[in-house]
Amino acid sequence: MKSNLHIVLLGLILSVSLVNADELEQNEFEEDLLDLYGDEVTISIATGTEQPISQAPAVASVITAREIAAMGAHDLDEVLETVPGLHVARSTLGYNPIYTFRGVYTATNPQVLMLVNGISINNLFVGDRSQVWGGFPVESISRIEVIRGPGSALYGADAFAGVINVVTKSAQEINGTEAGARIGSFNTQEAWFLHGSKFKGVDFAFMLEAKSSSGHREKIVSDVQTLSDQALSTSASLAPAATTNGRDNLDVRLDIEKQYWQFRAGLQRRRNAEIGFGVGSALDTHGEYESDRWNADLTYHNPEFATDWDMQAQLSFLNTSAEVGEDVFVLPPGAVFMDQVFPDGVIGNPEVWERHWRMSLTALYSGIDKHTVRIGGGYNHSEIYKVKESNNFSGQLVDISDTASVFLPEDERKNQFIFVQDIWKFARDWTLTAGIRYDDYNDFGDTWNPRAALVWSATHDTTIKFLYGQAFRAPSFAEFRNQNNPVALGNDELKPEQMQTFEMALDSRKFNDMRLGLNIFHYEWKNIIDFISDGSGSLQAHNQGKQTGYGAELELDWQLTNALVLHANYAFQDSEDQATGEDAGNAPHHQIHASIDWQLHPQWTLRPAVNFIIDRDRPPADNRDELDDYMLIDLTLASQSYSDQWELKLGVKNLFDVRAEEPTDASFNISNDLPLAGRYVFTEINFNSK
Amino acid sequence: MKHHFLQLGILSLCVSALLLALASPAHSQGKVAIIMPEVRAPYKVIFDDIYDGIVENLNQQSISLIINKEVKSSTVDGWIANMGISAIIALGPAAHKSVSKITTELPVVSGAMMTATPDDQDSLKVALSPEPAELFDQLSTLNDNISRVAVVYNPDRYQWLINLAQKKALSYGIDLLTYKASNVKQSAKIYDQLLADEKPQSLAIWLLQDRTIVDSKVVLPFILERSWQRSIMVFSSSLGHVKKGVLFCMYPDNRAHGKQLAQIIDNYYQLPARVHKDPMPTTDLLMAINSRTAAHLGLDLNKSDLRKIDVVFPLTN
């Protein structure tokens, strides 16, 4: 029997001015450890507290848990906004994120694939992550990998404008207990608890994150109903009034791992999720949504399955819902709709439940000299298995679920796929990666998507890549099957949207302590699905649009001194709607993000950050004035205890309370855009048992 | 004020030790003391792993003491006497120093040493420096054309390691070329000559984890650039070097390092008599490789006889 007992002598940490011989020796020892490991990040990798990142020949950004914590981010979207070439715009519906990669902007944003641990969480309904998104907390995130440009050759549908892969923490990374709490403006409270340990050879991780917030409330002067009021001499609009953005979130994850086997399960629950600016940009202070997103996967991964074979098999499940908690008002009381006055308002409560089963097999073969071949295939079965709707369009609130009047029929989609990719080191310093994926769908046919990446290690400190890729975006069920909605009728003749991208990327570490990255891209996006007039006064989905764009991204990481690190990036894009020859609109032409990690003292860090959104045109046929540029400044101050077990953080986002706005839908033609949150002040405390 | 705090710290140590001794007198016999420094994050995790490796493998009871700069050797001495300690494992130079100042007949092993130099204390020392034989073994596996390995070292810090490496190199058929330097200026001149070698295909350069010889601002960038141009293999005892472009390194498996220390203490009296007081290098190692540099050198990382690679740089390509 062993007994272990710690006696911890806290000593006199306060006497920081004391520098004696022992302290110098200790500092020297720490420097010796740095000599051994290189830097603090490498220590984390070497000691297993941070996982090395898989290699992907693409223009990719990787943000680790350490960096997420340093930036004082509370939500995934705050992290993504720092990625060059990616701007997180907002939908009027619940402030849902619109991940705008390199000028590819649409209201429902199905052109971006989001993966959690490599598994898609994109929905069938409108192709986004959820109509009741409610954010994604970051405490359980190990790292976020963002690929700009197409990735369909590996990931299949919707890896179109970009791919976001969120990797959650493993038991080994947590290795003990992490817990914390945060309070902030807008009556926001958050708490989290993570535990990871090993028991009889099995790694267990449990992660729980909870949030409750009244949300920021920003004043809207004019909404869709204001325009209607002006035309019909009514006074129904709630404007001027504030947007609503409150919600209660619960995120729970479980991760069990033994040797080659891993089982993960999770729930993302959203309750009392308020509407934002309203379903159709008419203020609604009453409506609330709910969502439950259940996920599970069983993964077998054996890197040494046989000589030269690395094998992975995966079965995964996702069940997700978009439900109505409180009646949703499409238009407020007193509004006129279909030539009829609605004294109680126009209520529309669409609800959708969907589930996805996916299975895949991937093998990596390294038995051929100079080649690494990845082959795989799989089968996905997705279905909208329940659709409910109640509305009062007839004057009475009635449940029309399971009738011909419902907005969307229940249906399924089957997809089978195979892919092959070869990494060929064909000459010294030259690697060619070439791959192709074939996808077959039961509802819209099949598609081939190739990619190629030529990587040249030009010098010891400079790498140049040339990339080409094609991608497709599967029509969403709303685009395919919507019915009974005269302004958004589905079309089962739709083809997938297509994307073709050329890129060149340069990465240089020419200057000591500095990394410089430059990417140049050109894309062509065609078969864009849009709702256009079918001649009878209705709008129906058609493959209509075409957009081209080009641009560049510049990235700089510079260790100015031992205590000062600068991260800065600049992105430029110019995208054109080919039908009109005009700017495609909504996305910023220029974006600058910069932050400084300033180690004030071994236990104190200060991080100022600035995000500058510049020059956003309106899309064609939107004659409103151009959107104003905005610059937001954030500050985060963190103090850690000597052993790093405790951390106190104070921060402020949008320090100067700048009124920043994202575009509202052009078709509503309202004067108001969507205001982002004003100044947000927070404090948090963290505990880490490591 | 400073002295006041100091006295308070010592007093609290004594009181804690006394209370503990009184609380469990019957169980304190035969315990192994693990004395560790108080270190800040992220270094703390290194010691936590070594500690876990010790207690998971030790066949005796253990008790740990975390010391900081305020603790004097006499205090540690008193604690050891009061706790009925049967053996001591000291981690890091601060713990080693605190133990080396006391007079004890107990078996002592000092682990997690960095630039361990021989001293008068009759304790076994295990450094975090990787066993040279393991480095030579991997070097030969990666490229069997290498017949010469050049190393520049500071004799004040690494003479013991070079002595050991000289012996081990012979068994791998490697001619170890050693160059002494005590500062960056001297080492830069030597590297300049080495990297102009007329037979680069048979030469490899071994970098030690020593900033007095290989600094990150001047010497390392120069070595990386010139060795790339001339396709000279460079390997290292530092993980940080591999991240920047050196071909490979071996670095300690901290948990296994703890196991090594536990086994030394458990078998202390069965160990052969020591003929010298040099430290021992760490034998349980992990491997990191820079795949970009390997590709440039035309090396095959899929070789079946190559050991498992634990970390591959660059982390993203």
Calculate how close chain A gets to B77, using CA atoms only, in Å.
15
Do residue B64 and residue A56 have CB atoms under 8 angstroms apart?
A: no
Cα–Cα distance measured from residue B279 to residue B110, given in angstroms and rounded to the nearest whole number = 9
A200 touches chain B (CB under 8 A): no
Do residue B70 and residue A11 have CB atoms under 8 angstroms apart?
A: yes
User: Choosing among B40, B79, B241, B303, which should be mutated to test the A contact, i.e. which has the most A CBs within 10 A?
Assistant: B40
Calculate how close chain A gets to B1, using CA atoms only, in Å.
10
| pLDDT band at residue B28 under the 50/70/90 scheme | very low
Please tell me the predicted confidence (pLDDT) of residue A43: 72
The A residues from 382 to 401 touching B (CB cutoff 8 Å) are none
Backbone angles phi, psi at B214, to 5 degrees: -120, 95
Please tell me the predicted confidence (pLDDT) of residue A58: 67
Please tell me the predicted confidence (pLDDT) of residue A17: 33
Cα–Cα distance measured from residue A343 to residue A238, given in angstroms and rounded to the nearest whole number = 14
Render pLDDT for A128-183 as a digit per residue (tens, 0 to 9). Answer: 999 999 999 999 999 999 999 898 888 999 999 999 999 999 998 998 999 999 99
Helix (H) or strand (E) holding A45: helix A40-46
User: Choosing among A16, A23, A25, A29, which should be mutated to test the B contact, i.e. which has the most B CBs within 10 A?
Assistant: A29
Task: Could you please state the CATH topology (level 3) that the domain comprising A21-688 is classified under.
Answer: Maltoporin; Chain A (2.40.170)
Please tell me the predicted confidence (pLDDT) of residue A47: 65
Please tell me the predicted confidence (pLDDT) of residue A489: 92
| Pick from A29, A39, A429: CB nearest B295 | A429
| pLDDT band at residue B274 under the 50/70/90 scheme | low
- Residue range B251-266: mean pLDDT, rounded: 92
A325, pLDDT greater than 60 = yes
Strand order in the sheet with A119-120: A59-64, A141-148, A162-168, A112-116, A119-120
With beta carbons less than 8 A apart as the criterion, state whether A354 and A320 touch. Answer: yes
Render pLDDT for A28-47 as a digit per residue (tens, 0 to 9). Answer: 777 778 777 777 767 766 66
B111, pLDDT greater than 50 = yes
Calculate how close chain A gets to B275, using CA atoms only, in Å.
28
Strand order in the sheet with B124-130: A6-8, B62-67, B31-37, B85-91, B108-113, B124-130, B280-282
- Chain B partners of A510 at a C-beta cutoff of 8 Å? none
Residue ranges covered by each domain of chain A: 21-688
The residue type found at B82 is N
- Chain A partners of B300 at a C-beta cutoff of 8 Å? 369
Nearest chain B residue (CA) to A603: B40
Please tell me the predicted confidence (pLDDT) of residue A638: 95
Please tell me the predicted confidence (pLDDT) of residue A412: 97
Please tell me the predicted confidence (pLDDT) of residue B15: 46
B6, pLDDT greater than 90 = no
Do residue A7 and residue B69 have CB atoms under 8 angstroms apart?
A: no
- Report the mean per-residue pLDDT for chain A: 91
Do residue B296 and residue A428 have CB atoms under 8 angstroms apart?
A: yes
- The residue among A172 and A440 whose pLDDT is bigger is A440
Distance, C-alpha A587 to centroid of its chain = 17
Please tell me the predicted confidence (pLDDT) of residue A686: 96
- The residue among B69 and A339 whose pLDDT is bigger is A339
Calculate how close chain A gets to B135, using CA atoms only, in Å.
15
CA atoms within 13 A on the CB side of A425: 21
| pLDDT band at residue A402 under the 50/70/90 scheme | very high
- Chain B partners of A52 at a C-beta cutoff of 8 Å? 311-312, 315
Please tell me the predicted confidence (pLDDT) of residue B105: 78
Do residue A42 and residue B217 have CB atoms under 8 angstroms apart?
A: no
Helix (H) or strand (E) holding A23: helix A21-37
- Per DSSP, the residues of A47-101 read TTSSPPPPP-SSEEEEEEHHHHHHTT--BHHHHHTTSTTEEEEE-TBTT-EEEEE
| Pick from B92, B240, B242: CB nearest A29 | B92
A382, pLDDT greater than 50 = yes
- Chain B partners of A35 at a C-beta cutoff of 8 Å? 114, 209-211, 238, 240
Helix (H) or strand (E) holding A231: helix A224-232
Backbone angles phi, psi at A381, to 5 degrees: -125, 120
- Chain B partners of A57 at a C-beta cutoff of 8 Å? 317
User: Choosing among B32, B232, B317, which should be mutated to test the A contact, i.e. which has the most A CBs within 10 A?
Assistant: B317
Cα–Cα distance measured from residue A230 to residue A47, given in angstroms and rounded to the nearest whole number = 66
- Residue range A393-399: mean pLDDT, rounded: 93
| pLDDT band at residue B5 under the 50/70/90 scheme | very low
CA distances from A623 to A139, A663, A675 (A): 42, 13, 19
With beta carbons less than 8 A apart as the criterion, state whether B37 and B68 touch. Answer: yes
- Chain A partners of B216 at a C-beta cutoff of 8 Å? 512-513
| pLDDT band at residue B16 under the 50/70/90 scheme | very low
Q: CB under 8 Å to A196, separation ≥6 — which residues?
A: A169, A170, A171, A172, A173, A174, A175, A176, A203, A204, A205, A206, A255
Please tell me the predicted confidence (pLDDT) of residue A435: 94
Render pLDDT for A57-88 as a digit per residue (tens, 0 to 9). Answer: 567 888 989 899 999 999 999 999 999 999 99
B21, pLDDT greater than 50 = no
What residue spans of chain B are helical by DSSP H? 2-23, 44-57, 73-83, 92-100, 132-142, 155-171, 184-194, 219-230, 239-244, 254-266, 291-296
Render pLDDT for B171-203 as a digit per residue (tens, 0 to 9). Answer: 999 999 999 999 999 999 999 999 999 999 999
Task: Give the number of beta-carbon pairs within 8 Å between A and B.
Answer: 206
- Report the mean per-residue pLDDT for chain B: 83
Q: pLDDT exceeding 70 applies to what percent of chain A?
A: 94
- Residue range A626-631: mean pLDDT, rounded: 96
| pLDDT band at residue B118 under the 50/70/90 scheme | low
| Pick from B224, B227, B240: CB nearest A42 | B240
Please tell me the predicted confidence (pLDDT) of residue A12: 29
Cα–Cα distance measured from residue B37 to residue B93, given in angstroms and rounded to the nearest whole number = 9
| Pick from A8, A32, A431: CB nearest B114 | A32
Domains and CATH numbers, chain B: 130-252+284-313 (3.40.50.2300)
B19, pLDDT greater than 50 = no
Render pLDDT for A535-548 as a digit per residue (tens, 0 to 9). Answer: 777 889 999 999 99
Identify the bridge partners of residue A569 per DSSP, sorted by sequence position.
A555, A593
B304, pLDDT greater than 90 = no
Render pLDDT for B196-228 as a digit per residue (tens, 0 to 9). Answer: 999 999 999 999 988 889 988 889 999 999 999
Calculate how close chain A gets to B316, using CA atoms only, in Å.
5
A446: region left, alpha or beta (phi > 0 left; psi from -120 to 50 alpha): beta
> Among A221-230, A262-271, B25-34, which is the least confidently predicted range?
B25-34
Nearest chain A residue (CA) to B114: A32
A496, pLDDT greater than 70 = yes
Do residue A36 and residue B298 have CB atoms under 8 angstroms apart?
A: no
Give the closest residue to A104 by CA, choosing from A543, A396, A498: A498
| Pick from A11, A40, A513: CB nearest B42 | A40
What residue spans of A401-521 are helical by DSSP H? 477-481
Residues constituting chain B:
317
Please tell me the predicted confidence (pLDDT) of residue A87: 98
With beta carbons less than 8 A apart as the criterion, state whether A374 and A420 touch. Answer: yes
Nearest chain B residue (CA) to A16: B2
Calculate how close chain A gets to B272, using CA atoms only, in Å.
27
Please tell me the predicted confidence (pLDDT) of residue B157: 86
The residue type found at A412 is E
Helix (H) or strand (E) holding A502: strand A497-508
